[in-house]
Structure 1
Amino acid sequence: MLTIAFVDRIGSGLWASVSVLYFTFVSGLSITQVGTLAATAGALGIAGAPIGGRLADRFPLTRVLVTVQLLRALASFALLTTDRYALLLLFTAVGGCGDRAANVLTRLYATRIAGPDRVRYQAVQRTVANAGWALGGLTAAAALALGSTAAYRWLLAGDALSFVASALLTLRCGEPRSHSRTVTTSKKARPTTTPTGPWRDRTYLAYVATDTVLFLDDAVFKVGLPLWIAHTGTAPHGLAPLLLVLNNVMVVALQVPLARFGATTPAARALLIPLSATFALAGLAMAASTTGGTTATTLSLTAAAVLFTLAEMLHATIAWELSVALASDTAQGAYLGVHGLAQAAQRSIGPLAVTTAIATGPLGWLTFGTAIAVTCTIQHRLVRDRLTQKALSVPSITVSEH
């Protein structure tokens, strides 16, 4: 599965860095149309996370993942066939839906295959995925030097082919053991318990709501930092891509070592306290970037990028553990699918949150960092009783044989 993550993210790196340019220069869309397409397709694609998780509780996980990868490939190939806006929107939405489903399914696979070592496995997988993303991005940058329409089309085709390759590689993976699917050997056999549904689990839904806020660091790197650098006028514009590179290098180098601090459920919950402090300091560093000249601004923004990256890695470690620990063992797929909504929803509210912070100025960034820090402490309190109760409970039996 690590090889699959690497191949998958190479393709994503090829496409993510040029998608806006493709729709502009190849499809001939206006800036408004491109923005509307991205926002609408993103909103429609949110459904992929819960649908993918639900299917994985009912069917073999590897088969569902292969289907999703092929769906992503078809959506990418389909973009090459038309310039009609409605069809571009449809195909982009289908691809986004598949992308979110694939994220949930790969997390679920790691949970099932690695068991108690799931946090370390996820950390290694994320490191490999980031390396693949970087390779894809560098390849895209080199291809764009050609400046031709054919280059854009080949990059999109490469993205589609990466999904085909991922599907073929997934066929070679063994099916992990699942507590979510009930197995019976006679028509009279019935499951002894009914899986708990995440949509009726108020504690889990509240946890997902708080995690949506904690995912806002993603919007900082994609939207916040580039716009803030342009807004301050004192930092060199070339600093934005360098900070993105710094973010990627830090994740590749440090995600696995940091994962050991959240390898158990109590440890993951405890990490919410230092995570809270990290978010608060990151907001302070962003606010401080307006108080000096070019050198001081550059140093403050670099410190902010380091702190937000550290927060990103700590939060990833915490989320990998708590999203599973809080879930019902008999409906892991459905629960992780609902948790996938947190990151998907953040992609809609994140840009709005960071642009509001930019418009407000230093006070906006202080508020941004403080709000996330407070949310960390709320989540720390929220999950305490649930985790204590689950630790004292006896696992239910979902397999009957007669």
Structure 2
Amino acid sequence: MNPKRRAAAWSTRIPGGRDGRRMLWIALVDRIGSGLWASVSVLYFTYVTGLSAAQVGTLAAVSGAIGIAGAPLGGRIADRLPLTRVLIALQLLRALASFALLTTGNYALLLAFSAVGSLGDRAANVLTKLYATRVSGPDRVRYQAVNRTVANAGWAVGGLAAAAALGLGTSTAYQALLAGDALSFLGAALLTVRCGEPPSPTRTVVTSKDPLPTTKPAKPWRDRTYLAYVATETALCLHDAVFKVGLPLWIVHGSNAPHGLAPLLLVLNNVLVVALQVPLARFGATTTAARALLLPLAAFFALGGVAMALSSAGGTPIATGCLTAAAVSFTMAEMLYATVSWELSVALAPATAQGAYLGVHGLAQSVQRSVGPLAVTAAIATGPAGWTVFGATIAVTCLIQHRLVRDRLAGPSLSVPPVTVSEH
């Protein structure tokens, strides 16, 4: 195929048009930077700034807790100000926070800069999702799948670069990785400058003779159904803690599998997401289909828990096989959850307060970052039965959510239709 035709054909497969494609580049740049820093942050604070293990843990916990406020705050602001301008400001804030970490070894300042970066990170994640939702319209599920594929590829590239740099084992290498993360935020900000402002139901075209709109937007904090939905979401995104904390610790302390299996399972996770996220998205292309995916999602969570439990019952081959099966099950759960969550979080939100609602939804992921490690370590401490209960509990939560959203989705659609707006 002619290269120009091939490029044109690929472009037509990306929802959101030119701005949608630009946001994919932003996701790639952002995640490459995150891949550079995420895997070495603990080592940087330990070997470069000289913090103790307790100080590093406290820094991560406090900055993560403060970052929880970023999601609802960012969503609320996005309903009132142009989305692209807020996104640019947040990317610059993240860059400044990362560069600031390079300037000091003072614990109080490191804590403050990390907290600011965490706040900006959570807010930017919500606003990026909101932008993608607005530009992709009815194709938002497919766009999300492409976006996750690109983001995982970025994480992999950044992680490989970090691994290569760590071979040097010098303070300069650690500092270079942190600087690379900061530069990725600057790159994302520059790319966002070129993005057009997406349609928004909260900013409409008016003339000097038109009265200003007086409709009050809905408030997610008073929407008990949505709050209950967000509460169930906190459990459903625990797959993240499984791969970051649960699998590595269980391999070392609860099974006879070789320790080198841990990074290989993380690679397997990334490869499966890159290969299958887009194909799987077609099974949740509508709100009804997305809700139906909660049933197989429950099954994969339950299977993952059982496979983790069985991995302690045999020698190295059995342990390796069971842990691989668990990794595949939890990866399938991760991909199905991403599709379901993206669609339902938007479909359940009224158009006039979409940013505020998605901001509250972002709390689920933020809270999971704090409670997720505790949940998986509790499962590890309990032994094989703990993993069985872990998987079964999340599976039951899937069924609860399936029932919870049924009546809400049976009514008129709350999703946001594409509209054309301009500032006045």
TM-score bracket, shorter-length normalisation: over 0.9
Deviation per CA, 1:323-374, whole angstroms, max 9, x where unpaired? Answer: 0000011111100000000000001110111001001011100100000000
In the alignment, the residues of structure 2 paired with residue 195 and residue 392 of structure 1 have an alpha-carbon distance, to the nearest angstrom, of 13
Structure 1 position 399, deviation (Å): 8.2
The answer to whether 1:337 aligns with 2:348 is: no
> Which stretch of structure 1 is more off in the superposition, 313-322 or 189-198?
189-198
Q: Letter of the aligned partner of 2:218 in structure 1?
A: T
Equivalent residue of 1:121, what SS?
helix
Opposite residue 291 of structure 1, the aligned amino acid is A
Aligned-pair distance for 1:102? 1.1
Aligned to 2:230: 208
Which letter does structure 1 place at the counterpart of 2:327? Answer: A
Distance 1:223 1:401 in 2: 46
Q: TM-score, normalised by structure 2?
A: 0.92
One-letter amino acid matched to 1:90: A
Tell whether 2:241 aligns with 1:219: yes
Name the CA distance, whole Å, in 1 between partners of 2:167 and 2:192.
34
Instruction: Give the secondary-structure state (helix, strand or coil) at the position aligned to 1:173.
Output: coil
Aligned partner of 2:322 in structure 1 is 300
1:159 equivalent to 2:181? Answer yes
Which is further off, 50-59 or 304-313? 50-59
CA distance in 2, matches of 1:391, 1:60: 25
Shift of 1:191: 1.4
**Partner in structure 2 of residue 358 of structure 1:** 380
Three-state SS of the structure 1 residue aligned to 2:207 is: coil
**1:133-152 equivalent positions in 2, closer than 5 A:** 133-152=155-174
After the TM superposition, which residues 123-138 of structure 1 pair with which residues of structure 2 at under 5 Å, given as runs?
A: 123-138=145-160
The structure 1 residue matched to 2:41, chosen from 19, 28, 32, is 19
1:3-402, aligned counterparts within 5 Å?
3-186=25-208, 189-391=211-413
Q: Which runs of 5+ in 1 are unaligned?
A: none
Q: Decide whether the 8 Å contact of 2:351 with 2:416 is kept in 1.
A: no
Identical residues among aligned pairs (%) = 77
CA offset at residue 196 of structure 1? 0.4
- Report the Cα offset of residue 144 of structure 1: 1.0
* CA drift at 1:187: 7.2
Rounded to whole Å, the distance in 1 between the matches of 2:210 and 2:330 is: 55
Shift of 1:194: 1.4
- Structure 2 unaligned spans of 5+: 1-22
- TM-score (ref. length: structure 1): 0.97
Aligned mates of 1:198, 1:237 — CA distance in 2: 45
4+ residue stretches of structure 1 with deviation over 6 A?
Answer: 392-395, 397-402
For 1:164, the aligned partner's letter is L
The amino acid that maps onto 2:64 is G
Q: Measure the CA separation in 2 of the matches of 1:393 and 1:97.
A: 27
Counterpart-to-counterpart distance in 1, 2:162 and 2:327? 24
Contact 1:287–1:366, Cα closer than 8 Å, also in 2 = yes
RMSD between aligned residues: 1.9
Q: CA-to-partner distance for each residue in 1:265-292, whole Å, 9 max, x for gaps? A: 0000000011111111111101110111
Q: Is the 8 A contact 1:330 1:398 kept in 2?
A: no
In the alignment, the residues of structure 1 paired with residue 161 and residue 420 of structure 2 have an alpha-carbon distance, to the nearest angstrom, of 48
Instruction: Label 1:293 to 1:338 Cα distance change in 2 as closer, same or farther (>3 A).
Output: same
Deviation at 1:181, TM superposition (A): 2.8
| CA apart distance, 1:147 | 1.1
Q: Within 2, Cα distance between the matches of 1:216 and 1:155? A: 28
State the distance in 1 between where 2:156 and 2:211 align. 50
Specify the code of the residue in structure 1 equivalent to 2:228: A
The residue type equivalent to 1:74 in the other structure is L
Q: CA deviation at 1:390?
A: 2.7
User: How far is 1:393 from its partner?
Assistant: 11
- Give yes or no for contact 1:198–1:205 (8 Å, CA) kept in 2: yes
Give the Cα–Cα distance (whole angstroms) in 1 for the partners of residues 140 and 92 of structure 2.
26
Distance 1:391 1:8 in 2: 33
Contact 1:192 1:398 (8 Å CA) reproduced: no
Is the contact made by 1:276 and 1:376 (CA closer than 8 Å) also made in structure 2?
yes
Evaluate the alpha carbon distance shift between residue 370 and residue 400 of structure 1 in structure 2; reply closer, same or farther with a 3 A threshold.
same
Return the alpha-carbon distance in structure 2 between the equivalents of residues 287 and 196 of structure 1: 45
Equivalent AA in structure 1 for residue 192 of structure 2 = T
Quick check: 2:101–2:113 contact (8 Å CA) kept in 1? yes
Q: CA deviation at 1:232?
A: 2.1
The answer (yes or no) to whether the contact 1:185–1:400 under 8 Å persists in 2 is: no
